[in-house]
C-alpha cells in the first residue's frame, strides 16, 4: 500500500483518504485551495461502495437473465457474475478526485504540462487504487 496516501476510519462505515503528503511534490500545488493546513480529503462510505457493487451485480444479472437458458437457476446466474472492482474504484476516482481540479492542480492539464499530469495522475491513481483495495477489505469485514 501507498506510503504517501493515508486513510483513516472516521465513522462506523466511513473512511477518510487524505492527500496531505501530495501537497508538497507538485510545485503548482501551492496555488491550490488545499494545502498542509487543510489537506484535500475524500470520504469513502462502505454503504456507497457496497451499493456500487450491488448495482454492477444487478445489471449483470439482468443481462444474464436475457441471454441464459430459462432452466438456469438464480444461484447459477449469481455464480457467473463477476464484479470488476477496478471499474468501481475508477468511477470514484473520476467523481471524487479528478473532478476537483481546483484542489488538485497537479491533475489539471490546463494548468500543468499534459505529460507531467499523465505521469502524476498515474502515480496517484496507483496509490488511490491500492488504498481503495484496503478500504474495500475493511468494508467487507464490517458488512
Q: What is the pLDDT of residue 106?
A: 61
Answer yes or no: is 89 within a domain.
Answer: yes
Answer yes or no: is 105 within a domain.
Answer: yes
Distance CA 2, CA 49 (A): 20
Domain count, the chain: 1
Answer yes or no: is 111 within a domain.
Answer: yes
Q: Whose CA is closest to 29, among 122, 112, 94, 96?
A: 112
- Which three cell numbers, joined as nine digits, stand for 56? 454492477
Confirm if 18 and 6 have CB atoms less than 8 A apart: yes
Answer yes or no: is 33 within a domain.
Answer: yes
Q: What is the pLDDT of residue 111?
A: 65
- The residue range of the domain holding 134 is 6-46+85-142
Answer yes or no: is 53 within a domain.
Answer: no
Answer yes or no: is 51 within a domain.
Answer: no
Answer yes or no: is 25 within a domain.
Answer: yes
Q: What is the pLDDT of residue 109?
A: 63
Q: What is the pLDDT of residue 33?
A: 59
What residue ranges of the chain have pLDDT lower than 50?
1-2
Strand order across the 6-9 sheet: 6-9, 14-18, 41-45
**CA count, 13 A, side-chain hemisphere, 11:** 10
Q: Which phi-psi region, left, alpha or beta, contains residue 47 (left: φ > 0; alpha: ψ -120 to 50)?
A: alpha
Confirm if 130 and 4 have CB atoms less than 8 A apart: no
Answer yes or no: is 58 within a domain.
Answer: no
Amino acid at each position: 500500500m501507498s506510503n504517501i496516501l493515508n486513510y483513516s476510519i472516521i465513522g462506523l462505515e466511513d473512511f477518510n483518504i487524505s492527500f496531505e503528503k501530495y501537497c508538497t511534490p507538485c510545485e503548482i500545488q501551492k496555488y491550490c485551495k488545499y494545502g498542509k493546513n487543510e489537506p484535500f480529503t475524500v470520504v469513502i462510505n462502505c454503504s456507497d461502495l457496497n451499493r456500487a457493487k450491488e448495482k454492477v451485480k444487478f445489471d449483470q444479472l439482468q443481462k444474464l437473465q436475457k441471454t441464459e437458458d430459462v432452466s438456469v437457476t438464480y444461484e447459477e446466474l449469481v455464480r457467473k457474475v463477476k464484479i470488476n472492482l477496478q471499474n468501481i474504484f475508477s468511477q470514484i476516482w473520476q467523481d471524487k478526485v479528478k473532478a476537483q481540479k481546483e484542489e488538485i492542480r497537479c491533475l489539471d492539464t490546463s494548468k500543468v504540462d499534459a505529460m507531467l499530469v499523465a505521469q502524476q495522475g498515474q502515480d496517484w491513481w496507483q496509490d488511490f487504487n491500492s488504498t481503495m483495495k484496503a478500504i474495500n477489505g475493511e468494508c467487507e469485514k464490517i458488512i
